Amino acid sequence: MTSVKTILINSLRDHSAKIGILGLGYVGLPLATAFGDAGFQVIGIDPDARKIDTLNKGKSYVQDVSDAQIVRLQEAGRLSATTDFSALRQCDAVSICVPTPLRKTGDPDMSFILSATDELAKYIHPGMIIVLESTTYPGTTREVLLPKLGKDKGLVVGKDYFLAFSPERVDPGREDWTTLNTPKVIGGITEDCSEVAAVWYAQALKTVVPVSSAETAELSKLLENTFRMINIGMVNELAIMCERLGVDVWEVIDAAATKPFGFMKFTPGPGLGGHCIPIDPLYLSWKMKAFQYNARFIELAADINTNMPRYVVSRVSDAFNDRGIVLKGSNCLVLGAAYK
């Protein structure tokens, strides 16, 4: 008898499998169009009725996806959008691309992942592959998703259905590295889960990088963004020190960058921006508290970066005072106000 795994892999390779994308934001919509362009029939699901209405009118609200691409895929019957989660019943492969913000208390807000998982649990069926893309703490796929999926229907992970984690690496607005050509790390709950997920993503994306576990994949994303966050914090503190020392920080950085090895250039700024860098490292810091471990580098860098806006304002205030101008009520031009 042909196994569930073999049947699913064959349907992924011949593109007869139906794809579901849960969450149609700046991660989910480009992924949906990537699979649509690869020849799959894709159903995008999002509770935001305004997004669905916009898409069904042939319009895109995401910078990296054009209106023309939406219309072309819709006319070809390869992209549809709905708020109805029961559409998951039709899907053989589902990617979860929902937000994972922080609460005001600094701990991860898992409500979007939990809600998506609860909906999936209603419609999961034998021969389904589920991949979580939302950035989160190590252990989420195994500890949060796995207990909720398949249990009520007697489905066994790695045999009846497949579950993996693959961190999104979207850099909105970037044209050289996109959803299609940015290497895709994938780690499954079991070896078979990793294999099925890798086969699926390889149908649309240029490079797939399988790893030994979901936890490895989860932690790889946090390492990427923690690396940036800590180095930005370090160079921001250097800027403060240079100001006290009367040294030009930009000249210092440019001089250091002439070293052809062992140095990576980072530049100071008014803190952190974007959807990921200010938040993701704190997932890891939060998780480590359960192991009675204080992630000191992360906490220190977060403190420095959080205080940079205040430092920038103080520098502006000092410059105004030097000219006999009061900051309050003055007009300030901010140059370089960007996503990052």
Q: Please report, as a single letter, which amino acid is at residue 248.
A: D
Positions of E strands within 17-57: 18-22, 41-45
Question: Nearest CA to 46 among 16, 103, 87, 76?
Answer: 87
Alpha carbons 11 and 335: distance in angstroms, whole number: 51
128-132 sheet: strands from edge to edge: 79-82, 41-45, 18-22, 93-96, 128-132, 161-165, 184-188, 208-211
307 contacts 278 by C-beta, under 8 angstroms: no
- Count the neighbouring beta carbons within 10 Å of the beta carbon of residue 263: 11
Active site residue 242: no
Determine the straight-line distance between the first and last CA of the chain, rounded to whole angstroms: 53
Alpha carbons 132 and 167: distance in angstroms, whole number: 8
Alpha carbons 58 and 145: distance in angstroms, whole number: 33
Point out the catalytic residue in the list 91, 242, 276, 332: 276
Positions of E strands within 23-170: 41-45, 79-82, 93-96, 128-132, 161-165
Q: Which positions are annotated as active-site residues?
A: 276
